Amino acid sequence: MSQMTLNQKTTLPKVGKINRKWYLVDANDLVLGRLSTGLADLLTGKGKNIYASNVDCGDFVVAVNAAKVRLTGKKLEQKVDYHHSGRPGGGRSMPYKKLMQDRPEYALLRSVKRMLPKNKLASRQILRLKIYRGNSHPHLSQNLEKVAISA
């Protein structure tokens, strides 16, 4: 029986050689949580075959129609966005009904940001997410590839 040598080496992606694509996601009539998980997967690069959790290998994502995102159940009436400045009396809260009317792109941004890993890579990954309230955006010069996120 002959001996066969196996070449089992783990290859890590090099930071300078990562090819980043631009994706366009239409958020029209998608559920906020399911849309956020799909966007977080694109930003981290989990769908790529070169994915490594310690290397930032994600892509750019342009999300349009953020004003048409929906919330399921009674979340629109009951859910509250809360944040604190860290100073005494610095707590602020806003019901999602008002937040989705005034700043729906902020609600989507917060949702995606909280689904990214809690490390230094997340601060770079969230910068590649571009969210727009309507259908128009200034990224027409990039070769945008449309992606459908399942509902």
Whole-number pLDDT of residue 146: 96
Widest pairwise Cα distance in the chain = 76
Contact status, residue 18 vs residue 141, Cβ threshold 8 Å: no
Examine residue 76 and state whether it is found in any structural domain, yes or no: no
Q: Is residue 128 part of a domain?
A: yes
pTM of the model: 0.89
**Which strand (E) or helix (H) includes residue 76?**
helix 75-78
How far is it, in rounded angstroms, from Cα 36 to Cα 92? 23
The range of the structural domain enclosing residue 48 comes to 20-71+104-147
Does residue 4 register a pLDDT over 80? no
Residue 11 lies in a domain: no
The answer to the question of residue 39 being in a domain is yes
Q: Find out whether 81 and 104 touch, Cβ atoms under 8 Å.
A: no
Is residue 149 pLDDT above 60, yes or no?
yes
Q: How many residues does the chain have?
A: 151
Assess if residue 46 is contained within a domain. Answer: yes
Position 137 in a domain: yes
User: Rounded CA gap, 151 and 149, in Å?
Assistant: 6
pLDDT tens track for 31-90: 999 999 999 999 999 999 899 999 999 999 999 999 999 999 999 999 999 999 999 999
**What pLDDT does residue 129 have?**
98
DSSP one-letter string for 87-108:
STT-EEEEEHHHHHHH-HHHHH
> What percentage of residues in the chain have a pLDDT greater than 70?
97
What domain count does the chain have?
Answer: 1
Q: What is the CATH number of the domain that holds 125?
A: 3.90.1180.10
Instruction: Decide if pLDDT at 105 tops 70.
Output: yes
